[in-house]
Amino acid sequence: MLISGKEIMQHAYENGYAIPAFNFANMENLQAIIQGAEEMNSPVIIQTSQGAIDYAGAEYLADIGLGAAHRANIPVVLHLDHGQKYEYCLKAIRLGWTSVMIDASQDTFSENVSKVKEIVKVARPLDIYVEAEIGIIGGKEDDLVSDKEIYTEVKDAVNFQRETMCDSLAIAVGTAHGVYKGEVKIDFTRIKEIRALLPVPLVLHGSSGVPLDMVTKAVHSGITKVNFDTELKLANLDALQRFLKENPGVYDIRKMFKPCRLAMKEVVKAKIAACMSTDKSWIIS
Ligand code: 13P
């Protein structure tokens, strides 16, 4: 069933596990996430970037995302990931997304604050959950490219949340969007310090390529939502390449994408286990 962000995030925040969030851009991608979460009996966040909306169309993604959520036997949140433009956030809200991220983290502190406040003003009366970001997470996510990385300062996180009243906060603690070039290093102490002072859930972006035990350690340190995208794309690519190599001449898209869906589902299940959200779908019953 479709659910508001607040319900599942609050439960996870209070009970020391995290809600896994996976990006989707097409049907197989979405089915892999929902099926994986159903098999693990876990609540899940399905999320679309602005790039996915440009690719598939907001109305179309709303149709399949909301349809999948309504049919699922687990709690599902439809979330806008890295909404950089006001219009995308408003459109998502109008079409039925139950959670939006307004990402003005590349702007100055005060510009970031004022953009987030604008969205909170619209979203709060409609019961739409609002995620914001402070600090800069490096790497590449769709059209969002950042070659610099600025770790979130504890005092900035506290002041930022106090001023914006955002519902959750993405922080920069060492992860990066996309494929890692070197060894992953996460500042767990910083997560703990921010968590101790902040009254809202923290979000970890760029979690593909982070070893599963480090994901779990981040959750134990105080992370409540973990975002995964690239690893699903890589699993899809790997399965497709293998299929095409082993089955020359096959052109049936159903045959071609079945192993891709399966491969993505296995990634989803492993990430859910690392977030410790297995068997937490009872929270809506
Ligand atoms: P990855 O692509 O590194 O998994 O990051 C996903 C993400 O943070 C989406 O916002």
The pLDDT tens digits of the residues spanning 162-208 come to: 999 999 999 999 998 888 778 889 999 999 999 999 999 999 999 99
Provide the residue range defining the domain that includes 267: 5-284
Mean pLDDT of 131-157: 85
208 lines ligand 1 (CB under 6 A): yes
Write down the pLDDT at residue 142.
Answer: 74
d(CA 236, ligand 1 centre) in Å: 15
pLDDT tens, position by position, 218-228: 999 999 999 99
pLDDT beyond 60 at 31: yes
Write down the pLDDT at residue 285.
Answer: 53
The atom number, within ligand 1, closest to the CA of 23 reads 9
The atom number, within ligand 1, closest to the CA of 228 reads 4
Residues 6+ apart with CB under 8 A from 23: 29, 47, 48, 49, 52, 81, 227, 228, 229, 232
Q: Which two tokens stand for residue 25?
A: 């851009």
pLDDT tens, position by position, 73-115: 999 999 999 999 999 999 999 999 999 999 999 999 999 999 9
d(CA 240, ligand 1 centre) in Å: 21
pLDDT beyond 70 at 284: no
Number of domain units in the chain: 1
d(CA 226, ligand 1 centre) in Å: 9
d(CA 250, ligand 1 centre) in Å: 32
Catalytic machinery residues = 81
236 lines ligand 1 (CB under 6 A): no
Residues 6+ apart with CB under 8 A from 54: none
47 lines ligand 1 (CB under 6 A): no
Write down the pLDDT at residue 137.
Answer: 81
207 lines ligand 1 (CB under 6 A): yes
230 lines ligand 1 (CB under 6 A): yes
pLDDT band at 160 (very low <50, low <70, confident <90, very high): very high
178 lines ligand 1 (CB under 6 A): yes
Write down the pLDDT at residue 282.
Answer: 74
pLDDT beyond 70 at 283: no
Contact 221, 244 (CB under 8 A): no
d(CA 196, ligand 1 centre) in Å: 25
Contact 30, 232 (CB under 8 A): no
What CATH number should be reported for the domain holding residue 151?
3.20.20.70
Residue pointed to by tokens 């999948």 = 68
Write down the pLDDT at residue 96.
Answer: 98
